[in-house]
């Protein structure tokens, strides 16, 4: 899977994904499945285009920030988390094919926001530390968490 946190340094745009077969209704970045043989960056760009109509030219600083792996007992799920900003003059998406979108202030305590397990770990780290540290590239935690550069 791939997900992208679109942000403007003060806020992050999240999607309330509803009715998913793999996660409960929760707040996530914009993304979805990586097709067999597909590059993670290409998958992120494809999902942004499909879900909110954004293309590579609409973005600045798209980069992979975290990879999280979680064993659910039935399958192992790997999610590649990227971040990006909207390019100057590009309006923020207002609708998404997967659910409602909402901007959240990054200075706020968002720890009670319902998120999938690895999404929660990644988002909390990125919100507090990762977005301020350009060296952060990977987060793995027990079954989910250990920070590496």
User: Tens of pLDDT along 78-125?
Assistant: 899 999 999 999 999 999 988 999 999 999 999 999 999 889 988 998
Q: How far apart are the first and last CA of the chain?
A: 21
User: Tens of pLDDT along 4-16?
Assistant: 999 987 899 999 9
Q: What is the pTM of this model?
A: 0.85
Burial 28-50 (b: 16+ CB within 10 A, else e): bbbbbebeeeeeeeebbbbbbee
Six token digits for residue 35 = 């097709």
Query: Structural domains in the chain?
Result: 2-148 (3.90.79.10)
């Amino acid at each position: 899977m791939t997900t992208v946190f679109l942000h403007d340094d003060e806020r992050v745009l999240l999607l309330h994904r509803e009715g998913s077969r793999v996660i409960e209704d929760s707040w996530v970045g914009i993304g979805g499945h990586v097709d067999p043989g597909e590059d993670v960056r290409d998958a992120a760009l494809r999902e942004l285009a499909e879900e909110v109509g954004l293309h590579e030219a609409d973005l600045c600083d798209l980069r992979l920030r975290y990879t999280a792996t979680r064993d659910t007992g039935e399958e192992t799920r790997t999610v590649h988390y990227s971040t990006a900003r909207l390019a100057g003059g590009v309006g923020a998406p207002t609708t998404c094919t997967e659910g409602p979108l909402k901007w959240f202030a990054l200075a706020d305590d968002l720890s009670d926001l319902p998120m999938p397990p690895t999404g929660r770990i990644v988002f909390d780290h990125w919100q507090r530390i990762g977005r301020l540290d350009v060296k952060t590239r990977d987060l793995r935690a027990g079954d989910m968490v250990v920070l590496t550069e």
